[in-house]
Chains A and B, each alone.
Chain A
């Protein structure tokens, strides 16, 4: 008996090797599977069934943003509420910035700086366009942004139009950026029913 109850050592060494192995495996797994996640956002659009048949409570007529495109998808004209808004030179600059960016992307992944510059240039032109469309939308609201809540925006786009112009117009119409805050503008957005001649 006395032999069995030997004096126990005060510190029992635990073999941690196995645990550390597993822990490092886990760590490696999580480190490798993590991705740089881009922050994304949504725009709600209202496309109820049987589009075209207006809601009876939609007494205010929608603001129509008409965007026309060249056959290769560049923006050729923008009309907000029937009025022409955007100058020829800005549209040309936008098409040019698009083409530059496209060319930079095609030339391969090796030229990051060139691509970043092209992207920045495009962003600059796009911002100008956004500001103009936004002004037009506000003046179509009668200069009173608080009326936006009950107003609907209708996008009438040429089928060939590049989709980022659409998102740009939605951005312009659905909120004003003021510093860190965003003042909401039109929240009800829909596409025009497609034209027959498609």
Chain B
């Protein structure tokens, strides 16, 4: 007994290697699975489900995402705006696109509309975009396995 407790080993040396290994594994996992671009999945919009929606294709061009809420307002750049006012925001957007030397036809407009919203509102969004010369549209749905 006395031999084992030699003069006060204050801190026992724990081998930390496995713990650090695991921790780094975890960090790597979370770093790869995190996807900041999905931050546009807004909780205020509940997409309608569909079994056969094509997987989202990421083009090199940043798409223009317009989200239609249940109550008929559109989330543009994180802020809800009235559907009637959307034209002004799109005019702004068009100016930015033109200044960057691109054409509005190159940009895909992603319409994320709530399943409970009115079809007329969706069509109104599309029309507002067409007036500003956007003509590539995708309707986004939530994929639900068959």
- Point out residues on A near B: beta carbons under 8 Å: 16, 19-20, 23-24, 26-27, 30-31, 33-35, 37-45, 47-49, 51, 69, 73, 102, 123, 157-168, 170-171, 174-175, 177, 182, 191, 194, 198
Contacts and interface: CB of A to CB of B under 8 A. Distances in A.
A183 to B, nearest CB: 10
B12 interface: no
Contact of B114 (A51, A163, A191): A163
Contact of B122 (A16, A42, A163): A163
9 contacts: A42-B53, A43-B138, A45-B137, A45-B138, A159-B120, A160-B118, A162-B118, A163-B118, A168-B48
A31 B50 contact: no
B131 to A, nearest CB: 9
A69 B47 CA distance: 20
B51 A171 contact: yes
B119 A170 contact: no
**B interface secondary structure, majority:** mixed
B120 A43 contact: no
A33 B27 CA distance: 12
Contacts of A34: 30, 33-34
B143 interface: yes
Interface of B: 16, 20, 23-24, 26-27, 30-31, 33-35, 38, 41, 47-57, 68, 110, 113-123, 126-127, 130, 133, 135, 137-143, 146
A158 B135 CA distance: 22
Nearest to B31: A30
B22 to A, nearest CB: 10
A10 to B, nearest CB: 14
Contacts of A42: 53-57, 110, 138-141
Contact of B56 (A33, A40, A69, A167): A40
A25 B41 CA distance: 26
Contacts of A170: 50, 139
